[in-house]
């Protein structure tokens, strides 16, 4: 180990710590409770508090809304080791993220990988500065699991394309300034080969957005309609008909994010909830059938958690996670559905209530929402196909 580097890092750590201590407002060091607690940016964004604004602006000026991105694009230019130190110190101090957006988590990495210099300069900078809210235009009404089966067309019209078609499940499209979008640029070739990845300005005629109501109630999802929306050719990323490569890159990204869902938030043990809701009789849960189901759930819950830990450790030891993310995605989402079925069962009559707003009847609505876990980000069926084919190497017909 190079001791000079080690020492430099230690100096860096001390500096960061001091800077954070001086610049991160106290209220920005408390746990995140709701979506709005982290600033999202975009042309319509407002700050939730003065502290949130201060914290965002200070971090933005350091380039630390995207610490590892090049400074040329508004990033912090940190190397991997430094970035790790920054994250560790922020975590220790409980500092909130100064900014969270699909631009940062999804489009940014894709542009860094596939975008040209002009695109990076233009868009990455605006992302790091929180000036633009991006949404993702992938799914279409008829496509479902077969993402590549998309119909939205981009017709060549000289120096620009004219985009027409419909996207669904575009999260927060109703507040989006721009959309990164998969469109069909060649309908003549096999479906995966005629797709391009384009950036569409949402603030133009021919773009209409309609929120989607779910079985659980209102949602961030939207339907987005394009009718001859104009896309200048400089907004084509990664070359004509090369969009599927970028899509795959982003999908792998998304899958591992969703698998983690069931871990987040829920702190209380299911057995504790059961005891509170159902009660004990002679020291045992009053509902003997439920008791077994809860025991089994807890064991599976621990099993999937430790499997994630184990596979992380194995990845560090050189065995990459790869298709195993499908196992997590599948198992964790199915388990999360089971959990909410059990909780609804424990919740009894009260849990079945469904008020006007989300809070009254939260349990029933949450339970309905979990049904989507095994559909979004690749259905359970698709994950099982992937496990069968890519892990077990079972043949295709």
Question: What is the binding site for its own copies (CB under 8 A)?
Answer: 284, 288-289, 291-292
* Residue 288 lies near other proteins (rule: CB under 8 A): yes
Least Å distance, CB 181 to other proteins, is 18
- Asked whether position 361 contacts other proteins by CB under 8 A, the answer is yes
- CA–CA separation, 54 and 77 (whole Å): 22
According to the binding rule CB under 8 A, does residue 341 interact with other proteins?
yes
Residues that bind other proteins (rule: CB under 8 A) add up to a total of 87
Provide the minimum distance between the beta carbon of 289 and its own copies in the complex, in angstroms, as a whole number: 5
Cβ neighbourhood burial of 318 (10 Å; 0-12, 13-18, 19+): exposed
Helix 3-23 to helix 50-62 angle (10° resolution) is 150
Q: Which does 18 bind (CB under 5 to 8 A by kind): other proteins, its own copies, none?
A: none
SS3 category, 230: strand
Q: Is 92 or 213 the residue whose CB approaches other proteins more closely?
A: 213
Considering only 186, 245, 266, 385, the residue that binds other proteins (CB under 8 A) is 385
Please, what is the end-to-end C-alpha distance for the chain in angstroms? 51
Nearer to other proteins, 189 or 352 (CB): 352
Separation CA 388–CA 131 (nearest Å): 43
The nearer residue to its own copies, 87 or 291, going by C-beta atoms, is: 291
SS3 label, residue 231: strand
Say whether residue 380 binds other proteins (CB under 8 A). yes
Decide: is 368 part of the binding site for other proteins (CB under 8 A): yes
Q: How far is the CB of 305 from other proteins (least distance, A)?
A: 8
Asked whether 284 and 356 are in contact (CB, 8 A), the reply is: no
Torsion of CA 121, 35, 177, 53, to 10 degrees: -60
Considering only residues 98 through 157, tell me which ones interact with other proteins, judged by CB under 8 A: 139, 141-142, 144-146, 149
What's the rounded Cα separation, in Å, for the pair 262 and 251? Answer: 19
Q: Judged by CB under 8 A, which of 93, 212, 240, 261 binds other proteins?
A: 212
What is residue 120's DSSP assignment? I
């Amino acid at each position: 180990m190079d001791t000079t580097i080690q020492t430099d890092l230690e100096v860096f750590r001390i500096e960061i710590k001091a800077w954070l201590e001086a610049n991160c407002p106290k209220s920005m060091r408390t746990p995140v409770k709701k979506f709005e607690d982290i600033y999202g940016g975009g042309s319509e964004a407002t700050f939730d508090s003065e502290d949130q604004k201060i914290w965002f602006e200070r971090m933005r000026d350091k380039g630390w809304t995207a610490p590892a991105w090049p400074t040329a694009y508004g990033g912090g230019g940190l190397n991997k080791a430094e970035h790790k130190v920054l994250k560790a110190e922020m975590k220790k101090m409980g500092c909130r993220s100064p900014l969270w957006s699909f631009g940062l988590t999804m489009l940014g990495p894709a542009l860094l990988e596939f975008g040209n210099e002009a695109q990076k300069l233009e868009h990455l900078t605006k992302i790091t500065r929180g000036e633009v809210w991006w949404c993702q235009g992938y799914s279409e009404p008829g496509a479902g699991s077969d993402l590549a089966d998309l119909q939205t067309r981009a017709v060549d019209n000289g120096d620009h394309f004219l985009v027409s078609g419909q996207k669904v499940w575009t999260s927060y499209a109703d507040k989006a300034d721009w959309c990164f979008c998969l469109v069909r640029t060649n309908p003549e070739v096999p479906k995966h080969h005629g797709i391009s990845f384009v950036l569409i300005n949402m603030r133009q005629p021919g773009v209409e957005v309609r929120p989607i109501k779910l079985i659980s109630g209102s949602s961030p999802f939207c339907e987005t309609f394009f009718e001859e929306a104009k896309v200048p050719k400089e907004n084509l990323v990664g070359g004509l008909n090369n969009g599927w490569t970028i899509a795959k890159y982003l999908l792998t990204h998304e899958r591992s994010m969703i698998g983690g869902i069931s871990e987040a938030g829920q702190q209380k043990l299911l057995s504790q909830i059961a005891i509170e809701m159902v009660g004990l009789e002679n020291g045992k849960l009053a509902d003997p059938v439920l008791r077994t189901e809860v025991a089994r759930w807890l064991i599976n819950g621990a099993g999937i958690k430790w499997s994630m830990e184990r596979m992380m450790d194995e990845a560090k030891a050189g065995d990459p996670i790869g298709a195993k993310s499908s196992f997590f995605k599948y198992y964790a989402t199915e388990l999360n559905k089971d959990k909410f079925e059990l909780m609804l069962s424990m919740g009894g009559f009260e849990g079945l209530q469904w008020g006007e707003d989300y809070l009254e009847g939260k349990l029933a609505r949450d339970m309905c929402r979990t049904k989507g876990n095994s559909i979004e980000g690749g259905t359970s069926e698709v994950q099982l196909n992937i496990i069968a084919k890519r892990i077990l190497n079972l043949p295709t017909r």
